[in-house]
Amino acid sequence: DIQMTQSPSTVSASVGDRVTITCRASQTISPWSAWYQQKPGKAPKLLIHRTSILESGVPSRFSGSGSGTEFTLTISSLQPDDFATYYCQQYNTYPWTFAQGTKVEI
């Protein structure tokens, strides 16, 4: 299986901060990565697929980039609604796998 590792596990930030979350894959998966946002008690929400394609309705402050084995999710200016846990996923090789998540907290 392809292992996905996110860093940091937790990020403490303030409204207006720029936040970057990194996801590393154990082998090349480019460009087949996706990012999700999950709030407590809710199902995950798809934010980005194919490394950098923003889903319809997702604010433009979210962006994704990367290649090979390293991918990033950036929130350019953190808003109150963005405090949540974020997960990356690879869909290059079955079984699809997720990283352990990054919690963005105040």
Partner 1 sequence: QVQLQESGPGLVKPSETLSLTCTFSGGSINGNYYTWIRQPPGKGLEWIGNIYYNGNTKYNPSLKSRVSISVDTSKKQFYLTLTSLTAADTAVYYCVNSPWGPYYFDYWGQGTLVTVSS
* Alpha carbon 67 to chain centroid, angstroms: 14
Q: Is 82 helix (H, G, I), strand (E, B) or coil?
A: helix
Binding to partner 1, residues 37-76 (CB under 8 A): 43-46, 49, 55
Nearer CB in complex with partner 1: 67/77: 67
Examine residue 96 and tell whether it contacts partner 1 (CB under 8 A).
Answer: yes
Measure Cα distances from 29 to 12, 23, 38, 90, 103 in Å.
29, 11, 23, 7, 23
| Closer by beta carbon to partner 1, 17 or else 55 | 55
Out of 19, 32, 82, 84, which residue is the one contacting partner 1 (CB under 8 A)? 32
Distance set, CA 66 to CA 23, 24, 58, 103 (Å)? 9, 10, 19, 20
Residue recorded with tokens 């207006």? 16
Q: Which residue lies nearer to partner 1 by CB, 83 or 96?
A: 96
Chain residues binding partner 1 by CB under 8 A are 1, 32, 34, 36, 43-46, 49, 55, 87, 89, 91, 94-101
